[in-house]
C-alpha cells in the first residue's frame, strides 16, 4: 500500500513535469539550489544522526567520510544544481522527420522517460544530484537510498519538496522511499505499472541485485575491468604515461585501468620502464610467465585477469598479436573502457572495431569515460549494457522518444 | 550445460558476424533465400509432423493454419529474406562526432547488439524472419520457438545453417534451443553472461512471462489498447472512417482500435453515424451512460476500458474536454498508439504532447503503427516500453552504439 501510493503519486506527477517548459524547470532548479543552502543547518543536523549511527555501528572511516555533509559540501551540491540550469533541455528534440507516400508526416521527438527509479548507496549527495538531472529531463523520480543515510536523505528530500511547493509545483515529482528494509526494496523493483526505468548507482553487489531482481527495465551501470593494450608499434613513453594515469590517478573508479596487455615484441623494453614508473605509487604487478621473464612480479592467475581491483594492483598479459589482444580483452573485460596504444592506424582500427566495449580509446587514457569529460555537463551513470544507452549517460539518455503522425484522414487499405 | 554451450558458441559467433561487411552479409542472405526454396519439400515434410501433432492435440483451426507451411508460404518467406538485402546496413553509422578541449576526438558509432535472444510462439516463419533481420544488423541469434512448431523450426534452422556453411560462415550465428521444456526456457532468460538482449514475440501471456522472469534486458513488445478520440471540432465523417478502419480492417492486431473517446458536444451527431457504419461489420458497442442516451448499446464497465479485445467489440467513453480525454487514455492505454480527430491545431498539439504512447496520431488511423508502413522496410516488433526503442523496431533498433576516442597521449589531470 505504501509503495502503491508512491507509485500513483509519481504517475500523476510525471504528466505534470513532462509539460513544464525549460524556463519553469530552470526557475525551480534555482529555487532548489537556494533552499539547499538556506536549510544547510537542518540538513547537517539530520546528517549528524546518520554519522552517529555509523560510528556506533563501527562504519569504516572512508564510508563515514562519504556520508558526511558540511557547509562546504552542501554549497558544492547546491552549485551542482545551478550547473544543471545551463544544460540544454533534452525534451522535445526533433530526432527525425519523414513523410510517407500516403501523405502522412512523421516526427520522431524526444520525450521524458516518465517515472525513473534510482536505487543507490550511502552518499546522500546523490539525492539532490539525481533529482536535478531527472527533473531537468522532464521526469518524476522515486529514490531509494541506503539505510545508512536515511536521515540525510529525508532532510534533503524535504528541502527539495519545500522549494517545489514555493514554486507551486507538484511535490511528488520527487519521492523518497523511507522504508529501508529488503522487502520494500524488492517490491519496489517490481513496480512495472508505475516505474518506467530503474537505475542502480553503487557497488557491484547492489547492481547485480537490481539486475537479478527487477522486472522493471534496468540500466546496468558501473563495474569496469578496463584494459590498456600496448602494441608492438606503440610509442612506449606514451604507453607508460597512459597506463600510469589510467591506473593511479584515481584507483577507486570504474574507468581506472585494472589490466594491461603487452605485445611480446616490446615487453623487454616496456616492462622495466613501466615497473619503474608505477613503483612511484607502489603498484603491485601480477604478470604471466613471459612478463616474469622480464620483470620481478607476482604470478597472475586466471582470476586476476577478470578482476576489478579498485586498488594499486595491475595484472599483465603478454600476447603475440592484436588479434590475441582483442580476444583476451573481450573475454575478461566488463564492456566499459579499453585502450590501444599504437602508431599503426590499421592495427588501431582493428582494435577499435573488435573490442566490445562502450568506450574504445586509441592513445588516450581510459580515465576520460565520464559525462563531464565527454562534455555532457552531467552524468547519471556509465552504462555497461547495450540496450538504450551505452557509456556515460547525460540528460539526453534520461529521455525516450515518441512518433507524432499527422495526416488528413489516412486509413489503411 | 546444453545452454552454456549454446551461449559460448553464440559469443564466438557474434565477434565474427560483427566484422562482416554489407556485401558478404547480402551474399549470405541471398544464399539462405535460395536454400529455403530448394529445401522446401524437407521443410514441408517436417512441418507436417507438427501439424499431425497439433491435430492429435485438438489444436484449433486458426492455430493449425498459422502453423502450416506450404510451397507458396515458403516462397513468400524466401522473398522476405531477399527484401532484407535491399535494406541499408545499420552497422557503422556515425551518430555523432565531437572534439574536446584537450584535443581528443570522439565518434559515436552504431554497432551490433551482439547476441540477441528471441522467444516466440507457434508461427515457424519467425525463425527465418528473425534470423534475416538480426543477421543483417550484425548479430548472432539464439531462438526459442514454441514446442508446437519444433520440427518446423529445426528444419528451417538446419537449412539456414547449410546455407551458412556453403558461404563459409560460422553456423552458430543462428542457434535454436531444441529443448522446449519450461526449465530450459527459464534458464535461458537468465543467461546474462552470453545474451545481450531478449525480445519476446507473441501474445500478452508470453511477453509478461519474459518480462517477469528474465534478468537479461528485455524489449517489451506487443499489447495495444489503442484509442481514437473524437474532439468537438472533428470532421465527423473523417472520424467515422478512421474509427471504422482502425477497428475493423484487421481485428487481431495490436494497432487495432479497442476504445473510442467522444467529446460530449458531438456525441449526438457522431454516435448514430458511427453505429450505422460499424454495423456493417457487426461491431458490438459498449458505452458509458452518456453514450447510451444517444445509441442502443451494452453498458461499458471499468474492465472494458482497459481491455484489448482483438475482436469486433468497441468501448465508448464520453468526455467534456481534451484534458479529460488525455487523462482517460493515459489511465487505460498500453502506451502503443492513440489518435485524435480534430480540426483544431491547439487541441491536437495538447493531445499529441500529453498522451504517453509510442505513436500519437492526428487525423490518421492507428493501424499505421508498423515497421513497413513507417518505411523501415522491416519490423522485429513494436516496443511498448521506453528504454532503447519505442514503437516499430526495424534494423537500426537491433543496434547499440559505442564511443571511439582518438588522441595522442591525453591523460587526465
Instruction: Work out the minimum CA distance from B57 to partner chain A, whole angstroms.
Output: 34
Contacts (Cβ under 8 Å, ≥6 apart) of B184: B2, B3, B177
- Report whether A67 contacts A120 (CB < 8 A): no
pLDDT at A378 over 90: no
pLDDT band at A136 (very low <50, low <70, confident <90, very high): very high
Confirm or reject contact between A104 and chain B (CB < 8 A).
yes
Kindly state the greatest CA–CA separation across chain B: 78
- Report whether A54 contacts A64 (CB < 8 A): yes
Percent of chain A whose predicted confidence (pLDDT) is above 70: 100
Q: What is the pLDDT of residue B62?
A: 85
Give the Cα separation of A347 and A344 in Å (integer).
Answer: 5
Contacts (Cβ under 8 Å, ≥6 apart) of A60: none
pLDDT at A330 over 90: yes
pLDDT digits (tens, 9 = 90+) for A8-50: 999 999 999 999 999 999 999 999 999 999 999 999 999 999 9
Count the neighbouring beta carbons within 10 Å of the beta carbon of residue B215.
18
pLDDT band at A359 (very low <50, low <70, confident <90, very high): very high
Look at chain A and count its residues.
413
pLDDT band at A268 (very low <50, low <70, confident <90, very high): very high
pLDDT digits (tens, 9 = 90+) for B251-284: 988 999 999 999 999 999 999 999 999 999 999 9
Confirm or reject contact between B372 and chain A (CB < 8 A).
no
Size of interface A-B (CB pairs under 8 A): 193
pLDDT at B121 over 90: no
Mean pLDDT of B341-365: 97
B314 strand-pairing partners? B285
Mean pLDDT of A106-134: 95
Cell 537479461, residue located: B216
pLDDT at B320 over 90: yes
Contacts (Cβ under 8 Å, ≥6 apart) of B225: B258, B259, B306, B307, B308, B332, B333, B334, B336
Mean pLDDT of B76-90: 96
pLDDT at B75 over 90: yes
pLDDT band at A222 (very low <50, low <70, confident <90, very high): confident
> C-alpha grid cell for residue A164?
517545489
pLDDT at B290 over 90: yes
Instruction: Work out the minimum CA distance from A336 to partner chain B, whole angstroms.
Output: 10
Q: What is the pLDDT of residue B209?
A: 93
CA dihedral A32, A38, A44, A49 (to 10 degrees): -70
Contacts (Cβ under 8 Å, ≥6 apart) of B115: B7, B10, B11, B14, B139, B140, B141, B142, B194, B195, B196
Instruction: Work out the minimum CA distance from B163 to partner chain A, whole angstroms.
Output: 25
| Whether this model's pTM surpasses 0.90 | yes
Give the Cα separation of B329 and B8 in Å (integer).
Answer: 45
pLDDT at A5 over 90: yes
For CA atoms B151, B156, B162, B168, give the dihedral sign: negative
Lowest model confidence (mean pLDDT) among A56-65, A356-365, B353-362: A56-65
Cell 500513483, residue located: A8
Give the Cα separation of B212 and A259 in Å (integer).
Answer: 37
pLDDT at A204 over 90: no
Give the helix ranges, DSSP H, for B167-263.
182-188, 204-213, 236-248
Record: contact B375-A100, CB cut-off 8 A: yes
pLDDT at B363 over 90: yes
Percent of chain B whose predicted confidence (pLDDT) is above 90: 93
Check residue A366 and report its DSSP letter.
G
pLDDT at A113 over 80: yes
pLDDT digits (tens, 9 = 90+) for A273-305: 999 999 999 999 999 999 999 999 999 999 999
Record: contact A402-B354, CB cut-off 8 A: no
For CA atoms A100, A103, A104, A106, give the dihedral sign: positive
pLDDT digits (tens, 9 = 90+) for A383-402: 999 999 999 999 999 999 99
Site from A95, A103, A364 to mutate, B interface, most B CB atoms within 10 angstroms: A364
Count the neighbouring beta carbons within 10 Å of the beta carbon of residue B94.
11
Amino acid at each position: 500500500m505504501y509503495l502503491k501510493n508512491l507509485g500513483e503519486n509519481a504517475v500523476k506527477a510525471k504528466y505534470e513535469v513532462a509539460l513544464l517548459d525549460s524556463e519553469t524547470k530552470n526557475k525551480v532548479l534555482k529555487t532548489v539550489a537556494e533552499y539547499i543552502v538556506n536549510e544547510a543547518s537542518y540538513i547537517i543536523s539530520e546528517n549528524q544522526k546518520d554519522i552517529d549511527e555509523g560510528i556506533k555501528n563501527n562504519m569504516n572511516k572512508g564510508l563515514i567520510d562519504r556520508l558526511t555533509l558540511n557547509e562546504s559540501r552542501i554549497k558544492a551540491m547546491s552549485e551542482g544544481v545551478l550547473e544543471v540550469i545551463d544544460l540544454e533541455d533534452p525534451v522535445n528534440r526533433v530526432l527525425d522527420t519523414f513523410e510517407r507516400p500516403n501523405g502522412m508526416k512523421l516526427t520522431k521527438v524526444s520525450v521524458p522517460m516518465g517515472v525513473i527509479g534510482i536505487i543507490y548507496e550511502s552518499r546522500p549527495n546523490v539525492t539532490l544530484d539525481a533529482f536535478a538531472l531527472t527533473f531537468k529531463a522532464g521526469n518524476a523520480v522515486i529514490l531509494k537510498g541506503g539505510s545508512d543515510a536515511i536521515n540525510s536523505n529525508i532532510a534533503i528530500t524535504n528541502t527539495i519538496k519545500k522549494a517545489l511547493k514555493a514554486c507551486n509545483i507538484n511535490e511528488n515529482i520527487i519521492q523518497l522511499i523511507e522504508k529501508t528494509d529488503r522487502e520494500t526494496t524488492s517490491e519496489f523493483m517490481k513496480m512495472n505499472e508505475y516505474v518506467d526505468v530503474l537505475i542502480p548507482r553503487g557497488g557491484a553487489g547492489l547492481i547485480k541485485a537490481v539486475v537479478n531482481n527487477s522486472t522493471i527495465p534496468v540500466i546496468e551501470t558501473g563495474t569496469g575491468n578496463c584494459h590498456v593494450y600496448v602494441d608492438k608499434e606503440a610509442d612506449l613513453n606514451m604507453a607508460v604515461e597512459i597506463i600510469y594515469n589510467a591506473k593511479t590517478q584515481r584507483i577507486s573508479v570504474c574507468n581506472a585501468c585494472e589490466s594491461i596487455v603487452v605485445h611480446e615484441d616490446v615487453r623487454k623494453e616496456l616492462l622495466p620502464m613501466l615497473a619503474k614508473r608505477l613503483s612511484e605509487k607502489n603498484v603491485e604487478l601480477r604478470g604471466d610467465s613471459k612478463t616474469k621473464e622480464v620483470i620481478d612480479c607476482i604470478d597472475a592467475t586466471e582470476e586476476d585477469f577478470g578482476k576489478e581491483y579498485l586498488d594499486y594492483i595491475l595484472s599483465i598479459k603478454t600476447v603475440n598479436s592484436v588479434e590475441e589482444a582483442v580476444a583476451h580483452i573481450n573475454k575478461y573485460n566488463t564492456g566499459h573502457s579499453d585502450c590501444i596504444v599504437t602508431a599503426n592506424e590499421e592495427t588501431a582500427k582493428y582494435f577499435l572495431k573488435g573490442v566490445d566495449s562502450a568506450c574504445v580509446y586509441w592513445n588516450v587514457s581510459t580515465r576520460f569515460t565520464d559525462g563531464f569529460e565527454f562534455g555532457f555537463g552531467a552524468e547519471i551513470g556509465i552504462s555497461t549494457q547495450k540496450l538504450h544507452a551505452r557509456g556515460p549517460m547525460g540528460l539526453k539518455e534520461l529521455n525516450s522518444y515518441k512518433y507524432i503522425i499527422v495526416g488528413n484522414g489516412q486509413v489503411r487499405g
